Amino acid sequence: MDLDFKNSHTTYSTHGFHTYPAKMIPQIAKALLDEFGKNATNLFDPYCGTGTSLVEANLHGLNGIGTDLNPLARLIAKTKTTPIEIQTLDLHLRDFYNYLFNYRFGFTTNQDSIVVPSFKNIDFWFSRTVKKDISVISNYVDTIENHDIKEFFQVALSQTIRLCSWTRKNEFKLYRMSPERIRIFKPDSFSVFEKTLGKNRDGLLDFMNKSKEKVSSRIYDFDTSERIPKRVIPDESMDMVLTSPPYGDSTTTVAYGQFSALANQWLGFMDRGRALDEQLMGGKKASRIPKFKSRVLNDQVREVENIDRNRALDVASFYRGYHSSIRNVSNKVKKGGYACYVVSNRTVKGIQLETGQITKDFFELNGFDHVDTFSRTITNKRMPKKNSSSGKKGKKTPLMNKELVVVMKKRGAQ
């Protein structure tokens, strides 16, 4: 199976609603659904992010269930998979454009009532003009009574917050632009928001035209390494699991919390913010290195420990949660059902961690047989190509430029 998909258009339908780090491209989800989801009805993504697999599940006629701890990711995933009556959406869009026209030309009498929020370091990330303009937009969004339409507007607002901030747009961690760049960076927040609304409206219309009737997606907030409530997902009820799990603990790999912090704060998700990275898989650091039922993982953790015990604890903490999550996920898959995990072998202290093999080992411990592992070159995923895995300044090594698609099948089917 060729899964490279070089130069593919990855933002069709609702997939282009919002940027997000390390997103699985929709072509992979589509190919895996075509191959292994022919007779499936229900799909589960335990680390759904912004909902790539859920969108593709709905387009293939499957119901989707996703979980994620990041409130911004859940908001985006829900909005990407929620149909909205287009005439009602257009009425709200027209009303907003009128509101903005009146504000721009001074026809409103309540301009002084716009409240600019206050959160830590807001002035470090936004100019005075951008703060005021985004507050004008936010003031309107807060008045929307239709919940689905309000969330549609919030997703566009989140994208605008990121695009108009002083964050470096080619980074997924929070890094401020250089002073030289800040001096010439003069975004028009209103135009950015209007353009995003229009683009997302067209994407949603395309999704609704192509998705199958009577299917839907539900998104939840719980940690699959701790529990998966039976009332949400009964045991042996899922035909297919399709997901791209984290590459490692968020603080040292993909900092989803940092990426989402500004929008999470502006939209009122104050309980998470940057601290989210410490709550994701591997964020709770182990005090000792456990013995895993994976020989390759034990060997590689030991190699890292011989170089840096602290980093070995980081690695062990992540895989401890990863194994627990796979055990819980495995209980939800029907006999004969498939688990498709898109993973990458990260490097720590110069030691490549064989996450593909480790994923296979963990699933085999939980009643699955290995079907195949496919390799693909990462060509269009928002990821850094190198990092300092050794911890030495200036010494960089290739970072996760290949992905592995591990396909497992649960034993016991008739």
CA distance to 86, 189, 266, 292, per residue, from 152 (Å): 12, 17, 16, 43
Per-residue pLDDT, 381: 53
Per-residue pLDDT, 389: 46
As beta bridge partners, residue 156 has: none
In this structure, the strands spanning 63-67 and 217-220 are parallel
**Residue 397 contacts by C-beta under 8 Å, 6 or more apart in sequence?**
347, 350, 386, 387, 388, 389, 390
Q: Which regions of 152-232 does DSSP assign to beta strands (E)?
A: 217-220
Q: What is the pLDDT of residues 97-110, one digit of tens each?
A: 999 998 888 776 56
Q: What is the pLDDT of residues 36-66, one digit of tens each?
A: 999 999 999 999 999 999 999 999 999 999 9
Q: What is the pLDDT of residues 167-216, one digit of tens each?
A: 998 887 889 999 999 999 999 999 999 999 999 999 999 999 999 778 99
Per-residue pLDDT, 379: 65
CA distance to 124, 295, 411, per residue, from 45 (Å): 36, 27, 20
Q: Are 363 and 371 in contact (CB under 8 A)?
A: no
DSSP-based three-state secondary structure for 329:
helix
Q: Are 334 and 238 in contact (CB under 8 A)?
A: yes
Alpha carbon distance 344, 247 (integer Å)? 6
Alpha carbon distance 155, 76 (integer Å)? 6
Identify the DSSP state of 44: E
The whole model's pTM is what?
A: 0.92
In this structure, the strands spanning 386-387 and 397-398 are antiparallel
**Residue 234 contacts by C-beta under 8 Å, 6 or more apart in sequence?**
332
Q: What is the pLDDT of residues 138-162, one digit of tens each?
A: 999 999 999 999 999 999 999 999 9
**256-266 vs 147-164: helix crossing angle, rounded to 10:** 120
Per-residue pLDDT, 271: 52
Among residues 272, 245, 412, 199, the alpha carbon closest in space to that of 344 is found at: 245
* Biggest distance spanned by C-alpha atoms of the chain: 71
Backbone angles phi and psi of 143, in degrees to 5: -90, -10
Pick the range with the lowest mean pLDDT from 287-301, 349-363, 385-399. Answer: 385-399
Burial classification of residue 83, based on how many CB atoms lie within 10 Å of its CB (0-12 exposed, 13-18 middle, 19 or more buried): middle
Of 112-116, 377-381, 406-410, which has the strongest mean pLDDT? Answer: 406-410
As beta bridge partners, residue 63 has: 42
Per-residue pLDDT, 388: 46
Q: Please report which helix (H) or strand (E) contains residue 242, including its range.
A: strand 238-243
Mean pLDDT of all residues belonging to the chain: 89
Identify the DSSP state of 387: E
Is the pLDDT reported for residue 20 higher than 70?
yes
Among residues 66, 29, 14, 396, the alpha carbon closest in space to that of 202 is found at: 14
Is the pLDDT reported for residue 414 higher than 90?
no
Per-residue pLDDT, 259: 87
The answer for 400, left when phi > 0, alpha when psi is -120 to 50, beta otherwise, is: left
Which tokens go with 93?
């869009």
Pick the range with the lowest mean pLDDT from 113-122, 221-230, 298-307. Answer: 113-122
Which domains does the chain show, CATH number per domain? 13-83+211-410 (3.40.50.150), 86-210 (no CATH)
Cβ atoms within 10 Å of 298's Cβ, excluding its own:
16
Q: How far is CA 284 from the centre of its chain?
A: 20
Q: What is the pLDDT of residues 242-282, one digit of tens each?
A: 999 988 765 666 678 888 889 999 998 865 445 666 666 66
Alpha carbon distance 67, 45 (integer Å)? 7
Which tokens go with 298?
């034990």
Per-residue pLDDT, 390: 47
Higher pLDDT residue, 326 or 286? 326
CA distance to 32, 247, 278, per residue, from 172 (Å): 27, 14, 16
DSSP-based three-state secondary structure for 213:
coil
Amino acid letter for position 322: Y
Per-residue pLDDT, 363: 98
